[in-house]
Structures are given as structure tokens and as C-alpha cells.
Amino acid sequence: MALGGDCEGNLSNAACVRDRRGVWHTVRFSNVLVKALERTAPATLLVPTGNGDLYVGTGTLEGSLPGPHGFSGEPRLLLFHASEGSPSQISKLPVWIVEALTGLVDSSSSSGRNRIGVSLIEPHRLRVWPLQRKHPAIGTPETCRVDIALDGQFETDCRQGRLFSVGRAGLMQQKPDELYETLDGGGSWVRLALPKNFDSEEIACTALGCRIGPYWRAGWGTRTEP
């Protein structure tokens, strides 16, 4: 977890980061990052890691101006190690991914319940989830998980259905009686067992679990009976 400003509550070029042990500490931004943020803020993303490091990502569109058909040019993602020097530059990403990351498009058409999250799943690999888009061929809405390597390679996995997410956990309803759960930001899915003849479109989720029709499912993940 990371919050803007230092851990003393001062608004400054720093962030307060909590590691996996629950310890909070202040990470000061490098001069290179501060200069970049002066040009791109507030279109930035804080990406904390389990060991307490912090990365800051921002997007650019080189040689581009907004026009009647949106943005053109070469989209790039810059990823800074917050306290160190020059960023890694990830280019040749599809525009729809960069726009979602940098807030360059109007998000009012989304459901509002699924916030985009970015996490470092490997030392040099980011996971962005959930991204909303329309299928490029048939135009139906879908939810995507995008894994981005710092060398610019990326992998996309998109699924159609109704998503209800909380952080890296989420439920995907593909049919009234067909629900899938993810605990790793869309990296893997497990079908949930539902009561016989279950048929409901009423789903709402929080960090404590999900209300699924008339049932309450406490917590996330598979549990075994004693």
C-alpha cells in the first residue's frame, strides 16, 4: 500500500509505503521523477512492492495532440524506481492500454465499481487489472488483464462477463449460474460451486466477501471443511 505525501502527513514529493510486515516508511522521490511529475501529474500510478519499494508509472504520447478521433502518435509508459534515477521506458503499447493507465479517456462509461490496479508480480513485470474495453471485432464489453514486461513485451487476457472486483480479487459472472473467482488480478480463475438451480443477477462484493443473490459468501478463496 502507498499513500501520497510522507508518513508524517506532509504533502511533498514523497509517498508513505507499507511493506508486507505492516511497517510504514517514507520514500522520497528522486529529482528525475519530480521533474517528470511536473510535466505529467496527476496522470500517475503508485506501484508499491511487498518489500517496501515503490515504483511510479506515467504515460506519454510522443508527437501527439488530441483531435476529433482521439489521440495519435507513439504511446509510452515510463516506470520510475521512485528514489532512484532514469526510468524504464516501455513503448509500442496499444493506445487503449496507455489511455486507461494515464486517465486520458473518460471513464464515466465504466461501472465505477472496479478500480484499475497495478502490481509488480515479478521483479521486471507489471500486472494491470481490470481494464475495460470493447471487443475489437464484435464490440461487446469485456474485462482485460495486461502483463507488461519492462522490455516492452506484453500479454493480454480478456474475458466477457460481469466483473465485481476488490483489489486483486474478483468475481466474474458469465451466466446467471456460472461464477468464476480470481485472487491474483485475473491471472487465474476458479469456477465457484453454487446452490442447485441458482439463478440471480444480484451480486455485490467488498473486502469481507460477496452477497450473491440471497446468499452471503464470507471471505475470498477456497475453504475446506474441517
- Grid coordinates in use for 65? 495532440
Rounded Cα distance between 58 and 132, Å, is 19
**What's at 218, amino acid-wise?**
A
Q: What is the mean pLDDT of residues 175-180?
A: 90
CB 180 within 8 A of CB 118: no
Q: What is the mean pLDDT of residues 62-87?
A: 69
Q: What is the pLDDT of residue 198?
A: 85
Rounded Cα distance between 49 and 26, Å, is 14
Q: What is the pLDDT of residue 85?
A: 76
Rounded Cα distance between 34 and 82, Å, is 9
